[in-house]
Structure 1
Amino acid sequence: MHRSILAFLLLGSAAHAQCQGEDLRLTLTAAERADLDARIADMPYAQGNRWRAEKDGEVIHLVGTMHLSDPRLDAPAERLRTVMQGAGALLLEMPAQEQTKLTAALGQDPALILLDGTTLPELMDEDDWQSLSAAAKAHGLPAVMVARMRPWYLSMLLALPACAKAQMTQQDGLDVRLEAQAGEYGVPSVALEPFDTTFAIFNAEPLDDQLEMIGMTLAQQEDGASGFATTIAAYFDETAAEMWQLSAILAARSPLYTAQQASKAIEQTSAALLDQRNHDWIPVILAEAEKRAAPIVAAFGAAHLPGKNGVLQLLADDGWTLTREAF
């Protein structure tokens, strides 16, 4: 469940077979394209899905992943098989054992995704609630269920277009394939973070901020399939940084947000979902690299690779030499 919920924001999902949308990068005006280029011009490691880090004889293989299925992942997965065969450990955001823990936790503690003591109709204006109810109904979510959902959780569900639902169940993304290879070769899988990390991040957000997430999601409902198509195209172009920054430009097209508000929203999301987690992952990665005799593999959503607070730059700051490799 976790992989599907967070897929849209973290370059985690593919709905290529069912969602035949338009690459929204092709719809940018000249001014929007210039804005996008400026946003990534000086961004460290803005391109590339696969990297090799080396320091003092130690090697870390870093792979930007998609969490759900796409047939174009066949070739990258096979190219990584040799690496996995000789690896000392595979580090993932959500290995199978953590997924099991999350499933159990959701059954034991509904408050992870449900409001306690209030409902969305009580928190929202009537017109906004009716708009939300209609959007949820189109996704097959009954109003009585939606009313109790935490706003951030609901916004994630609504960000996934209806055409992607069948694809969500396949669970055959690059991280899953790499974990299967690790199992074949007896390579241990290690979690980069506790299973409930992202839930804790979102649940700590004030309800007003969570409701803003719903507003932004509803503002982009018409572009749902195209948003997915753009995300997938950017992933296989190996331009995760471009896709992340494009989100702010697309949000600014809505009359609900100014360009400044949209950029601020993306920055805040990046700080919580990417930057802080990246910093938290580095000690885990370095500890495993030091502990294992063989090179380790760290595979996670591609959006975590680029930027001054990206995993690659943080390793470079620690003295590691980074080399881009064929994805």
Structure 2
Amino acid sequence: MIIRMLHALCLVTLAGPAFAACSGSDLRETLTPAEQARIEAALDGAPYADGNHWRATRGDKVIHLIGTMHLADPRLAAPLERLRPIVESADLLLLEMTQEDEAALETRLASDPDLLLMPDATLPEILSEEDWAKMTEALTARGMPPFMAARFQPWYVSILLAIPPCAATPELAEGGMDALIEKIAQGAGVPRAALEDVETIFASFAEQPRQTQINMMLSALVEPKVSEDLFATLLASYFDEATAEGWAVSELLAQRYSPIDPDIAADIFATIEQELLIDRNHAWIPVLTNASLENDVVVAAFGAAHLPGEDGVLALLAAEGFALERLAF
């Protein structure tokens, strides 16, 4: 459950069986002219802004890059069938985390829960009475007893709060695209490997200053309906293959609905973008290029938000001499 929530945060999308009780709306339809102009400015000239499936070619080497969502949705069935032959014929599948990596980390967390706990304080001690009361209500709505969460690191509580109450179920990522692609590869005997060390995401959050973590946690403390709408918006953007737009809209909405100062919310979003996307994108490029040297056809499947932009995986591969072509998703 913990690892799947971390995966969810990497794209911040949710759907399918876990979203069956949710009724969020696509907030892109509510953008004011000024907000729409801001989105258009953010997208102006952004490289590789659209598309969930790209082919990178250098010489006779090929990398298929598949932007995924980490949680279940019945609409994934059709893309998965279209992608099945590509995955089954690959020499290697690269993922953010393999099943074996996830199992190993879950085992470590079970034996050393202090990795998620504050050693020197509790949430009621570091929050105002008003904020702890709101936190208690929000955690309870997600099935998490507040007394259990009281010692959690604030960054982890922010992940718990990022999941709408209507969707906080243990089956969160059972049918996510990453898991389903990995299942196809396993069935075809395709070797699998991870793009990064299993603890990279943990370190990205845990190394943040305590106050940054607190701000991150408080910024996620939005009304349940707003939380549903934010998820529905990113989900709609994903199936529209509007990857750059989805991220830009998320940034705007994070400030629109933030329960904390909008400028602080903007700083929090920038931190998440740097830690979860930009830094990891750059770290993945040597892994991708080395895999391509050793294999004729590589499939790399990871959160779609990693694809677009100047610091996106596609632009970084283009800088390494790969030719990029958008393919059907």
Q: TM-score range by the shorter chain?
A: over 0.9
Q: Which residue of 2 aligns with 1:230?
A: 233
Which of 304, 313, 322 pairs up with 2:306? 304
Counterpart of 1:326 in structure 2 is 328
Paired with 1:246 and 1:21, the residues of 2 have a C-alpha distance of 15
Q: Relative to structure 1, is the Cα distance of residues 167 and 225 closer, same or farther in structure 2, using a 3 angstrom cutoff?
A: farther
Q: Of the candidates 151, 154, 157, which is equivalent to residue 154 of structure 1?
A: 157
2:243 paired residue number: 240
User: Given the superposition, is the C-alpha separation of residues 257 and 123 from structure 1 closer, same or farther in structure 2, using an over 3 Å criterion?
Assistant: closer
Contact 1:62 1:299 in 2 (8 A): yes
Identity of matched residues, %: 45
1:68–1:173 CA contact under 8 A, matched in 2: yes
**2:97 is the counterpart of 1:94:** yes
What are structure 1's unaligned runs of at least 5 residues?
Answer: none
TM score, norm. by length of structure 1: 0.95
Farther-moved stretch of structure 1 (256-265 vs 89-98): 256-265
Q: 1:297 aligns to what SS in structure 2?
A: strand
Q: 1:180 is matched with which residue?
A: 183
Match of 1:65 among 53, 68, 71: 68
Q: Which amino acid aligns with 2:315?
A: Q
Supply the distance in 2 between the matched residues of 1:311 and 1:30 (Cα, whole angstroms). Answer: 31
Report what 1:18 is aligned to. 21
Deviations 1:117-161 (A, max 9, x none): 211111112221121112112222212112111111111111101
Q: 2:196 is matched by which residue type in structure 1?
A: E
Give secondary structure in 1 for the equivalent of 2:81.
helix
Point out 4+ residue stretches in structure 1 off by more than 6 angstroms.
Answer: none
- Please say which of residues 316-325 and 120-129 is displaced more in the overlay: 120-129
Q: Deviations over 1:22-81 (max 9, x none)?
A: 101111111111111111122111111000000011100000001121111111111111
Compute the displacement of 1:255 (Å): 6.6
Q: Is the 8 A contact 1:53 1:323 kept in 2?
A: yes
Contact 2:154–2:213 (Cα < 8 Å) also in 1: yes
Residues 123-202 of structure 1 mapped to structure 2, 5 A cutoff: 123-166=126-169, 168-169=171-172, 171-202=174-205
After superposition, the C-alpha distances for 1:95-130 in whole angstroms (9 at most, x for unaligned) are 111111111111122122111121111111222112
3-state SS of paired residue (1:251): helix
Name the TM-score, length of structure 2 as normaliser.
0.94
> Does structure 2 retain, via aligned residues, the 8 Å contact 1:91–1:299?
yes
1:249 is aligned to: 252
Q: Residue in 1 aligned with 2:44?
A: 41
Counterpart contact for 2:95–2:192, Cα < 8 Å: yes
Q: State the number of aligned residues.
A: 326
Q: Secondary structure at the match of 1:175?
A: helix
Contact 1:67 1:175 in 2 (8 A): yes
Q: Is the 8 A contact 1:11 1:235 kept in 2?
A: no
Aligned to 1:7, the other structure's residue is in SS state helix
Kindly tell me: are residues 288 and 302 of structure 1, through their superposed partners in 2, closer, same or farther at Cα, counting changes over 3 Å? Answer: same
SS of 1:91 mapped into structure 2: strand
Alpha-carbon distance in 2 for matches of 1:50, 1:40: 19
Report the AA paired with residue 213 of structure 1: M
Residue in structure 2 matched with residue 76 of structure 1 by the alignment: 79
The one-letter code sitting in structure 1 at the alignment partner of 2:292 is A
Instruction: Give the counterpart letter for 2:5 in structure 1.
Output: S
Task: Evaluate the alpha carbon distance shift between residue 96 and residue 111 of structure 1 in structure 2; reply closer, same or farther with a 3 A threshold.
Answer: same
- More divergent stretch after superposition (110-119 vs 317-326): 110-119
Q: Output one character per residue of 1:183-207: Cα deviation in whole Å (capped at 9) or x when no partner.
A: 1111001011111110111000011
CA distance in 2, matches of 1:255, 1:225: 14
Distance 1:262 1:81 in 2: 40
Report the Cα distance in structure 1 between the residues aligned to 2:127 and 2:303, rounded to whole angstroms: 33
